[in-house]
Structure 1
Amino acid sequence: MTSLIERLWYGKGRPLLILSPFSWIYRAVSDARRQKAHDAYVQKLPVPVVVVGNITAGGTGKSPLTAWLVDEIRSAGWRPVILSRGYGGKSAGYPLLVTEDTLPALAGDEPVMLAQATSVPVVVDPDRRRGAAFALDNALGDVLISDDGLQHYRLPRDIELAVFDGARGIGNGALIPVGPLREPVSRLNSVDFVVVNGTDTADENGLVPLHSFAGIAHPQMYAMRLKPTRLVNLKTGETRSPESLQGQKIRAIAGIGNPTRFFDTLKALGAKLIAVPFPDHHRFRPEDLGTESGHMLVMTAKDGVKCRGFAPDNAWVLYVEAELPKAFSEAVLAKLRACSGPSTS
């Protein structure tokens, strides 16, 4: 997503209103695909399926939420498996079982990042129903978590989570290409939970009050924040605290859906940065990393998996983790147990 489109989608008004006929076509095609997929399956999978996604284009924090869910679900006795489309990767065959050492060029950057962050099986397949069958046939786990799969309707699901960026919300509220919405806001009526990444309006239980975020009235809307946890040197593995960035001159690169959020995090840590955004899922080359004298090079974990092989000595990854309220964890686990009991015998 270009910065120009971001400004048009997430600013005031609808300057692309002339493209409304394409929005109508987009919605008609989307609704037809959803109905066709819904009619195609009548039986759920033998294990619970949790889908994490969004109804807006661009980055919202889905992958950190997926990693958080894996930890919470695994701690409760389940064996989670992550399903991913593998955007940006090109494998000779699918399904592809991803490990921490799989090349991002094959699997995509996010699946490799999630494999490294969670150490659970990650299955990549553009057809996530086929990927789910592979996971089940090989007894990889007893609960499936689909990352960025809200619109992949061929995959039956038991729990749906929709994630929003708290600062950008629903933008101008219009469907692509007039606005950033992949589906109408009314789609939220059928999801189980709404998660808002970055908001100050939550109550003591982490619940976001009705209508306080983008006018959305969902009874299970929770606040999430991304907390920087550590800096790791891509060449040596040396670890530092995020607070060590205070006063440091850095070149910050980010090829993610919402690079501004990453740059704002670095500024909040006191870094003096040169911000260099790239398109989401950008395939980095050595010349993209820059050569500013006396500057640290800092990037996201998603970009780090692609730059590891040619990173200079001054290249660091800033890792972040999702923080969500206990009430949300309890609600998700209760819903999961209602679907099926964990296979712990």
Structure 2
Amino acid sequence: MDGSGVGQGLQWLSLVSIVASLPVVVLVSNVLHEIGHALAALAVGYRVRGFIVGGTSADFSRSGGFLQFGRKFGRAATLISPGSGWIAGWRGIVTYGGGAAVNLLIVVVTAPASLGWEFRHGVAVQPGAHTYLPVVTVFVFVVNLVFLVANLVPRVHSSGAVSDGRHLLNLIHSRRLVEWIKIGESSVVIDRPRAQVWHFLDDPRNVTSYDDTVERIYQKPGTPAGVGRILVAHLFPVPPSTVGDVVESETVAFDPPRRMMARGARNHSLRVETALRAVGPDSTRLTRTLWLGAKPLAPEQRQRLLETLGEAGARLAQENERIRRMLVPDTTATLAIPGVRARRRARARRV
């Protein structure tokens, strides 16, 4: 093999090494982010109950030891709890800011080398052994910058987990940390356009057709149609009581025809989210989720809570099926009647 062939081989080997380094950089950066949380928690007097690499806090098992490994590559989580009470105040802010602080430190340290090398070479660089470390340094810079921004953006993930930014806002506004736990979810496909499904669900008068606990419901006078709308529901009495409760719910998110969320007007810790996704021209996936706001729980506490409230998902499924039947009536029984009559007329003619 001539020298050019050896050089090309080394270039390809370097390119493969560079590409293979990216997921490793992602994992290491995530682990360092979680170590930042752990160190910050210990610094303010909180306890670090466990650490999982390749998973989230929901994957942590109490019987599996302090350090555990999961199958979700690139993920990591630290389990933190105070000695007593809630994660709150400046201690909570320091704890949940520790991860972003580590990412920021890495960005600052790698920025001069990464940006300087990028400005000198740009993208017109031939892969080779001499470019491996500079390119990996750029990876470290970019990945940690992305982690820093993504974790500080206040958002709630589909799994119910929230970003550090959301935790920090909760701590600033309410002075204590609230974790949103998904206690029930159900999804159903309805053969109707999304706008029609939204119109049905947005009308309070239709609630009694699928929620058998509500006797009557109406919009509280003076409240708006979207965010801030308050619905007053009169519930059926539950024996031995002869008078049903009156509960109010407030709309806190309203994005027609995609998503709405309501919370208890008095109990803000319970929320119902409704999401609509078009899966065809005349077909819509309806997903309803029940969230419960609580103090951060250990995995075994979360599991006991979910077992206690295990009927929530089944109830949502029943209501979703009623909604589907209201919008897509079952015509089987209607079609069967003409069929029976036709058979009877045929028998009468033969007689």
TM class, shorter-length: under 0.3
TM-score (norm 1): 0.26
Structure of greater relative contact order (alpha carbons < 8 Å, 6+ residues apart): 1
The structure with the largest alpha-carbon Rg is 2
* Greater helix share, structure number: 2
TM-score (norm 2): 0.25
